[in-house]
């Protein structure tokens, strides 16, 4: 009961990301992993469900034998565990305790820059068909506008706060100027961020930390966007801006 209560108190802090410090996300939203479809973890074996005190919290991805990547704004919650190898949150797969959390030293919650953290689990991930590390892009890689990418997660849908089954949505990389135009009044869009989306499609609250992938390489982590989730663009952490940091920190 105590853990569940603590998790509920933290619940609004993690979901895309707060557009302004102290502004809570609504408990119900119109919008979803917008126009997404059910997905199988067998097609996205790096996908992890991050749970806080047993409650679905954020997403993460396997980046090494004992390491995961997520958004820095996700890791303030207590009693974090990672569920690997399951398409259904709250059941199946393998649950591992988080033993260490390392937030990128340049993370700024108020500006949402360098929204990255790596998590070490208490024992190695049980690698197999449904649990595999995702690829990382080269340092400084800039994916071109129009590149097709896929976001996955258990974030809010139009009907439920957390869907039972993993969702996927196909969008495309956008020029940062597009996110600056639509979202610049919330935060400045910097080189540590990646812009992606498509009208009527995208990530939503609860997808934070989840991977944005092209051909098995993770280009982004869900970070922040419009509170309604219905805008044409959303902001992801730009993984290529921290590839060396990830490998140096985790030894992956």
Q: Print burial letters for 208-232: b (CB count within 10 Å at least 16), e (below 16).
A: bbbbbbbeebbbbbbbbbbbebbbb
Catalytic residues: 73, 115, 208
Name the residue with tokens 């993370």.
107
Question: Quick count: other Cβ atoms within 10 Å of Cβ 170?
Answer: 13
Among candidate residues 21, 69, 117, 9, the one with its CA nearest the CA of residue 217? 69
Those residues with Cβ within 8 angstroms of residue 215's Cβ, 6 or more apart along the chain or in another chain = none
């Amino acid at each position: 009961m105590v853990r569940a209560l603590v998790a509920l108190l933290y619940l609004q802090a993690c979901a895309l990301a707060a557009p302004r410090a102290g502004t809570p996300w609504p408990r119900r939203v119109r919008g979803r992993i917008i126009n997404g479809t059910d997905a199988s973890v067998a097609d996205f074996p790096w996908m992890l469900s991050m749970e806080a005190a047993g409650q679905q919290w954020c997403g993460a991805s396997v980046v090494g034998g004992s390491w995961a990547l997520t958004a820095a704004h996700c890791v303030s919650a207590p009693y974090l565990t990672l569920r690997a190898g399951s398409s259904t949150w709250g059941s199946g797969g393998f649950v591992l305790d988080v033993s260490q959390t390392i937030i990128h030293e340049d993370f700024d919650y108020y500006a949402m820059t360098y929204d990255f953290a790596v998590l070490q689990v208490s024992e190695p991930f049980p690698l197999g068909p449904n649990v595999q590390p995702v690829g990382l892009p080269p340092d400084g890689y800039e994916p071109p506008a129009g590149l097709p990418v896929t976001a996955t997660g258990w974030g809010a849908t139009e009907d439920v706060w957390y869907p039972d089954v993993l969702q996927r949505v196909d969008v495309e990389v956008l020029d940062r100027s597009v996110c600056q135009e639509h979202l610049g009044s919330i935060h400045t869009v910097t080189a540590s961020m990646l812009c992606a989306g498509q009208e009527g499609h995208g990530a939503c609250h609860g997808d934070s930390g989840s991977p944005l992938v092209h051909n098995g390489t993770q280009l982004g982590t869900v970070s922040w966007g419009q509170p309604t989730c219905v805008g044409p663009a959303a902001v992801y952490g730009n993984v290529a801006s921290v590839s060396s940091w990830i490998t140096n920190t985790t030894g992956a």
